[in-house]
Amino acid sequence: MIKLPNLRNADVKGKRVFLRLDLDVPLTQHLTIADDTRLKDSLETLNFLLENGATVIIGGHLGRPDHKFKSQKSKFKIEENKFSLKPVAQWFGKEFKIENLKLKIENFEGLRGWRITDSLFLLENLRFDPGEEANPSTSPLTMSSGLNDSGQVFAKKLASLADIYVNDAFASSHRAHASIVGTAKLLPHFAGLQLAREIETLSYLLENPKRPLVVIIGGAKIETKLPLVSKMHKFADYVLVGGKIAEETRVLLKVQHEKVENRKSALLVADLNNEQTDVTPKDVENFVQIVNLSQTVVWNGPIGVTEGKEGNYEIASYKLAKGIIDVGAYSVVGGGDTIGYLKKVGLLNKFSFVSTGGGAMLEFLSGENLPGIEALIEKS
């Protein structure tokens, strides 16, 4: 079991704390927050720090800003508005009941952001600085924890803001980025309360799961999920793949499966319907039948459209969710799209554990060392 530095043992009174949170919330076309689950998950750690006398500087990212627009001011302004954390600043202002909150962006020791209260400051999207993602490797599975020069400079800039570093962004801890790895190494560091809970739960699941164990992978992030599917063949008893990832990589998935030595899993890849919007009714039925055999289910990524209104029982992801809930197995769900949909249809609280991470959850369960977690373990 991974032992992380316990935040409850930290002396934070009178200290400045850099708190890395998962702020990558979905936005509407009007740039308002569509689902605030991740922000609500951050409140336990944030309130703990504030109630114990800390001044908190929150850092996080939203989306993937394109730095090529830096040289084109008009286009970059559009890009900046699209990925600004201003809606998140507004959310925190309402959460802390700040009347007449003036969200005028200001400078905080060389970095831009918003002052929510006298003891709470939110930095603008860290990914607006190219140093945040600066790393010699681009693969989330092979990233080393060594940052390049611009990454090290940005990590030092963030570290200069605070006395203590706290990571409560499990969903980003599989990325060896400046604010996840570099800053942690420069300051006394601790795991946030939500992150510690994630690691404890997933570690137990990895080491001693009740079987049969079914892993369901859907969604569209093919470049990050494909390598993880093959790794699941040694962990799971059944691997079920649906959605866009299944349709575009069907042959490769099956070839990979056959190549895995000592595999213990059976693989089922779903077909899409004629409209290419959902998996077929027959495949949903097959998925649910396998789920009915399970003692543990791990689910990441919808297996089709999720635009249906509450009560639309024709959507494949809805049928699958009901099947998982009805069987009564220990169920773990992760990933922003999946969580957002389950929350919308009122089923999220029926799952045994909700992970804030999608890709990070799968990588952890596949046996990968997450750079953000390794950075907390070192020198702790």
The percentage of residues in the chain with a pLDDT greater than 90, rounded to a whole number, is 60
Give the residue extent of every domain in the chain. Answer: 7-197+372-377, 211-328
Q: What is the mean pLDDT of residues 332-351?
A: 92
Domains 7-197+372-377 and 211-328 share a fold: yes
Regarding the domain delimited by 7-197+372-377, which CATH topology (the fold level of the hierarchy) does it fall under? Rossmann fold (3.40.50)
Tens digits of residue pLDDT in 163-216? 999 999 999 999 999 999 999 999 999 999 999 999 999 999 999 899 999 999
Distance (Å, whole) CA 85 – CA 122: 8
Integer-rounded Cα radius of gyration of the chain: 21
Among candidate residues 323, 321, 258, 262, the one with its CA nearest the CA of residue 288: 323
Tens digits of residue pLDDT in 274-294? 888 889 999 999 999 999 999
Beta carbons within 8 Å of 289's beta carbon, 6+ residues apart: none
Mean pLDDT of the chain: 87
Q: What is the mean pLDDT of residues 3-16?
A: 96
Report residue 94: phi and psi, to 5°. Answer: -70, -40
Domain 211-328, CATH: 3.40.50.1260
Tens digits of residue pLDDT in 211-263? 999 999 998 776 677 777 878 888 899 999 988 777 767 767 776 777 666 66
- Residue 118: pLDDT above 50? yes
Q: Count other C-beta atoms under 10 Å from residue 91's C-beta.
A: 20
